[in-house]
Amino acid sequence: MSEKIRLQKYMAECGVASRRACETIITDGRVTVNGLKAQELGTKIDPDYDEICVDGKLIKKSKKKYYIMLNKPSGYITSASDQFGRKTVLDLISNDISERLYPVGRLDYDTEGLLLLTNDGNFAHNLTHPSKETDKTYIAVVSGTVSTREAGILSKGVFIDGKKTAPAKVSLSHRPDNTTQITITIHEGRNRQIRKMCSAISHEVLYLKRVAIGDVILGNLPIGKWRHLNPVEINKLLR
Protein backbone atom coordinates (compact mmCIF):
# COMPACT_ATOMS: atom_id res chain seq x y z
CA MET A 1 0.00 0.00 0.00
CA SER A 2 1.42 3.40 -1.00
CA GLU A 3 1.15 6.64 0.94
CA LYS A 4 -2.29 8.23 0.70
CA ILE A 5 -2.58 11.57 -1.10
CA ARG A 6 -5.35 14.11 -1.57
CA LEU A 7 -7.83 13.21 -4.28
CA GLN A 8 -7.44 16.49 -6.19
CA LYS A 9 -3.64 16.12 -6.25
CA TYR A 10 -3.91 12.63 -7.72
CA MET A 11 -6.44 13.80 -10.31
CA ALA A 12 -4.09 16.60 -11.39
CA GLU A 13 -1.20 14.15 -11.65
CA CYS A 14 -3.40 12.00 -13.91
CA GLY A 15 -3.93 14.95 -16.24
CA VAL A 16 -7.61 15.55 -15.46
CA ALA A 17 -7.14 19.30 -14.92
CA SER A 18 -5.18 21.72 -12.77
CA ARG A 19 -5.43 21.11 -9.04
CA ARG A 20 -7.83 24.00 -8.48
CA ALA A 21 -10.03 22.89 -11.37
CA CYS A 22 -10.02 19.35 -9.96
CA GLU A 23 -11.39 20.71 -6.69
CA THR A 24 -14.38 22.10 -8.59
CA ILE A 25 -14.87 18.79 -10.40
CA ILE A 26 -14.94 17.02 -7.01
CA THR A 27 -17.42 19.42 -5.40
CA ASP A 28 -19.62 19.18 -8.51
CA GLY A 29 -20.07 15.48 -7.72
CA ARG A 30 -18.37 14.17 -10.85
CA VAL A 31 -15.85 11.94 -9.05
CA THR A 32 -16.24 8.49 -7.51
CA VAL A 33 -13.79 6.55 -5.35
CA ASN A 34 -14.39 2.80 -5.50
CA GLY A 35 -17.87 3.44 -6.85
CA LEU A 36 -18.88 5.96 -4.18
CA LYS A 37 -19.32 9.65 -4.91
CA ALA A 38 -16.57 11.78 -3.34
CA GLN A 39 -17.40 15.46 -2.81
CA GLU A 40 -15.12 16.29 0.13
CA LEU A 41 -11.90 18.12 -0.76
CA GLY A 42 -10.15 16.48 2.18
CA THR A 43 -10.63 13.00 0.73
CA LYS A 44 -7.39 10.99 0.57
CA ILE A 45 -6.85 7.98 -1.65
CA ASP A 46 -4.33 5.19 -2.15
CA PRO A 47 -3.19 5.40 -5.81
CA ASP A 48 -2.23 1.71 -5.84
CA TYR A 49 -5.50 0.45 -4.38
CA ASP A 50 -8.39 2.86 -4.97
CA GLU A 51 -10.31 3.12 -8.24
CA ILE A 52 -10.95 6.74 -9.22
CA CYS A 53 -13.48 7.66 -11.91
CA VAL A 54 -14.33 11.08 -13.36
CA ASP A 55 -17.66 11.26 -15.18
CA GLY A 56 -17.71 7.47 -15.05
CA LYS A 57 -14.31 7.04 -16.70
CA LEU A 58 -11.42 5.42 -14.86
CA ILE A 59 -8.35 7.65 -14.57
CA LYS A 60 -4.76 6.52 -14.25
CA LYS A 61 -1.48 8.35 -13.93
CA SER A 62 0.41 8.70 -17.18
CA LYS A 63 4.10 7.89 -17.20
CA LYS A 64 4.93 10.36 -19.98
CA LYS A 65 4.58 14.07 -19.33
CA TYR A 66 3.52 16.43 -22.10
CA TYR A 67 4.28 20.15 -22.29
CA ILE A 68 2.67 21.73 -25.34
CA MET A 69 2.74 25.25 -26.77
CA LEU A 70 -0.30 26.12 -28.89
CA ASN A 71 -0.94 29.24 -30.94
CA LYS A 72 -4.64 29.50 -30.14
CA PRO A 73 -6.90 30.98 -32.81
CA SER A 74 -9.87 33.17 -32.00
CA GLY A 75 -13.13 31.22 -31.78
CA TYR A 76 -11.94 28.37 -29.56
CA ILE A 77 -12.88 27.70 -25.93
CA THR A 78 -9.97 27.26 -23.51
CA SER A 79 -11.37 24.10 -21.96
CA ALA A 80 -11.20 20.34 -22.29
CA SER A 81 -14.89 20.24 -23.29
CA ASP A 82 -17.85 22.54 -23.84
CA GLN A 83 -21.47 21.81 -22.95
CA PHE A 84 -22.68 23.90 -25.90
CA GLY A 85 -20.64 21.98 -28.45
CA ARG A 86 -18.30 24.83 -29.31
CA LYS A 87 -14.79 24.14 -30.57
CA THR A 88 -12.18 23.74 -27.82
CA VAL A 89 -8.41 24.12 -27.92
CA LEU A 90 -8.06 20.36 -27.50
CA ASP A 91 -9.73 19.89 -30.89
CA LEU A 92 -6.54 21.35 -32.37
CA ILE A 93 -4.29 18.61 -30.98
CA SER A 94 -6.57 15.60 -30.37
CA ASN A 95 -5.75 14.00 -33.73
CA ASP A 96 -2.05 13.96 -32.86
CA ILE A 97 -1.98 13.22 -29.12
CA SER A 98 -4.29 10.69 -27.48
CA GLU A 99 -3.11 11.55 -23.96
CA ARG A 100 -5.56 13.55 -21.84
CA LEU A 101 -4.22 17.11 -21.69
CA TYR A 102 -5.66 20.32 -20.26
CA PRO A 103 -4.92 24.04 -20.60
CA VAL A 104 -2.62 25.85 -18.17
CA GLY A 105 -4.57 29.00 -17.38
CA ARG A 106 -6.87 30.37 -20.04
CA LEU A 107 -7.32 32.67 -23.00
CA ASP A 108 -10.67 34.25 -23.83
CA TYR A 109 -12.77 32.87 -26.70
CA ASP A 110 -11.87 35.82 -28.93
CA THR A 111 -8.20 36.09 -27.90
CA GLU A 112 -5.35 34.54 -29.88
CA GLY A 113 -1.87 33.43 -28.97
CA LEU A 114 0.31 31.43 -26.64
CA LEU A 115 -1.46 28.78 -24.60
CA LEU A 116 0.23 25.94 -22.72
CA LEU A 117 -1.27 22.46 -22.38
CA THR A 118 -0.01 19.63 -20.20
CA ASN A 119 -0.85 16.49 -18.25
CA ASP A 120 1.51 17.47 -15.42
CA GLY A 121 -0.64 18.74 -12.57
CA ASN A 122 2.27 20.00 -10.48
CA PHE A 123 3.66 21.97 -13.43
CA ALA A 124 0.28 23.61 -14.03
CA HIS A 125 -0.28 24.32 -10.33
CA ASN A 126 3.13 25.93 -9.88
CA LEU A 127 2.78 28.05 -12.99
CA THR A 128 -0.72 29.37 -12.26
CA HIS A 129 -0.49 29.85 -8.49
CA PRO A 130 -0.87 33.58 -7.68
CA SER A 131 2.27 33.59 -5.53
CA LYS A 132 4.38 32.71 -8.61
CA GLU A 133 3.44 36.01 -10.32
CA THR A 134 4.31 34.64 -13.77
CA ASP A 135 4.60 37.42 -16.36
CA LYS A 136 2.30 37.23 -19.38
CA THR A 137 2.87 39.53 -22.35
CA TYR A 138 0.13 40.58 -24.77
CA ILE A 139 -0.16 42.67 -27.90
CA ALA A 140 -3.42 44.60 -28.07
CA VAL A 141 -4.66 46.78 -30.90
CA VAL A 142 -7.08 49.36 -29.50
CA SER A 143 -9.28 52.08 -30.91
CA GLY A 144 -7.98 55.64 -30.99
CA THR A 145 -4.64 57.13 -30.03
CA VAL A 146 -3.44 56.13 -26.58
CA SER A 147 -1.48 58.95 -24.97
CA THR A 148 1.66 58.64 -22.88
CA ARG A 149 -0.41 59.78 -19.90
CA GLU A 150 -2.93 56.97 -20.45
CA ALA A 151 -0.12 54.44 -20.81
CA GLY A 152 1.20 55.65 -17.46
CA ILE A 153 -2.21 55.10 -15.90
CA LEU A 154 -2.26 51.53 -17.21
CA SER A 155 1.24 50.84 -15.93
CA LYS A 156 0.41 52.06 -12.42
CA GLY A 157 -2.85 50.09 -12.27
CA VAL A 158 -6.53 50.80 -12.90
CA PHE A 159 -9.67 49.72 -11.10
CA ILE A 160 -11.60 46.89 -12.73
CA ASP A 161 -14.44 45.05 -11.02
CA GLY A 162 -13.84 47.17 -7.92
CA LYS A 163 -10.18 46.18 -7.48
CA LYS A 164 -7.00 47.86 -8.68
CA THR A 165 -4.76 45.93 -11.04
CA ALA A 166 -1.12 45.30 -10.20
CA PRO A 167 1.55 47.43 -11.92
CA ALA A 168 2.15 46.52 -15.57
CA LYS A 169 4.82 47.13 -18.21
CA VAL A 170 3.36 49.12 -21.10
CA SER A 171 4.74 50.34 -24.44
CA LEU A 172 2.93 52.05 -27.32
CA SER A 173 3.13 52.00 -31.11
CA HIS A 174 0.77 54.37 -32.91
CA ARG A 175 -0.69 53.23 -36.23
CA PRO A 176 -1.83 55.31 -39.25
CA ASP A 177 -5.43 54.04 -39.05
CA ASN A 178 -6.21 55.85 -35.76
CA THR A 179 -5.50 52.78 -33.66
CA THR A 180 -2.72 52.03 -31.19
CA GLN A 181 -0.76 48.85 -30.62
CA ILE A 182 -0.08 48.30 -26.93
CA THR A 183 2.44 45.77 -25.68
CA ILE A 184 1.55 45.03 -22.07
CA THR A 185 3.00 42.63 -19.52
CA ILE A 186 0.99 41.62 -16.45
CA HIS A 187 1.29 38.85 -13.89
CA GLU A 188 -2.35 38.64 -12.83
CA GLY A 189 -4.92 36.47 -14.58
CA ARG A 190 -8.24 38.16 -13.94
CA ASN A 191 -11.20 37.60 -16.26
CA ARG A 192 -10.81 39.59 -19.51
CA GLN A 193 -8.26 41.73 -17.71
CA ILE A 194 -6.53 43.40 -20.67
CA ARG A 195 -9.85 44.31 -22.30
CA LYS A 196 -11.18 45.77 -19.06
CA MET A 197 -7.95 47.69 -18.38
CA CYS A 198 -8.12 49.31 -21.82
CA SER A 199 -11.81 50.04 -21.35
CA ALA A 200 -10.91 51.84 -18.11
CA ILE A 201 -8.96 54.41 -20.18
CA SER A 202 -11.77 54.57 -22.78
CA HIS A 203 -10.15 52.50 -25.52
CA GLU A 204 -11.78 49.39 -27.01
CA VAL A 205 -9.63 46.33 -27.71
CA LEU A 206 -10.01 45.39 -31.37
CA TYR A 207 -7.47 42.57 -31.39
CA LEU A 208 -5.65 40.72 -28.60
CA LYS A 209 -2.86 38.17 -28.71
CA ARG A 210 -0.66 36.67 -25.98
CA VAL A 211 2.93 36.45 -27.17
CA ALA A 212 4.89 35.29 -24.11
CA ILE A 213 4.60 33.55 -20.76
CA GLY A 214 7.59 34.33 -18.60
CA ASP A 215 10.66 34.04 -20.83
CA VAL A 216 8.96 31.59 -23.20
CA ILE A 217 7.85 33.33 -26.40
CA LEU A 218 5.36 32.31 -29.08
CA GLY A 219 7.71 33.28 -31.89
CA ASN A 220 6.68 32.33 -35.44
CA LEU A 221 4.52 29.32 -34.56
CA PRO A 222 1.61 29.46 -37.07
CA ILE A 223 -1.91 30.14 -35.82
CA GLY A 224 -3.72 26.93 -34.89
CA LYS A 225 -0.47 24.93 -34.71
CA TRP A 226 1.32 23.45 -31.72
CA ARG A 227 4.71 22.11 -30.72
CA HIS A 228 6.40 20.48 -27.72
CA LEU A 229 8.25 22.76 -25.32
CA ASN A 230 11.96 22.03 -25.22
CA PRO A 231 13.76 21.30 -21.91
CA VAL A 232 15.18 24.83 -21.72
CA GLU A 233 11.69 26.35 -22.01
CA ILE A 234 10.28 23.99 -19.39
CA ASN A 235 13.05 24.92 -16.97
CA LYS A 236 12.45 28.63 -17.60
CA LEU A 237 8.81 28.21 -16.60
CA LEU A 238 9.71 26.25 -13.47
CA ARG A 239 12.20 28.84 -12.20
For the CA atoms of the chain, what is the radius of gyration? 20
Give the Cα separation of 5 and 17 in Å (integer).
Answer: 16
Q: Which of 106, 175, 98, 88 is nearest to 140 (CA)?
A: 175
- Please, what sign has the CA dihedral across residues 154, 156, 159, 165? positive
55 is catalytic: no
| 152 HSE (CA, 13 A, CB side) | 3
Catalytically annotated residue among 50, 82, 108, 135: 108
- Residue 151 sits at φ, ψ, to 5 deg, of -60, -40
What DSSP character marks residue 173?
Answer: E
Give the Cα separation of 23 and 77 in Å (integer).
Answer: 21
What DSSP character marks residue 132?
Answer: G
Enzyme catalytic residues: 108
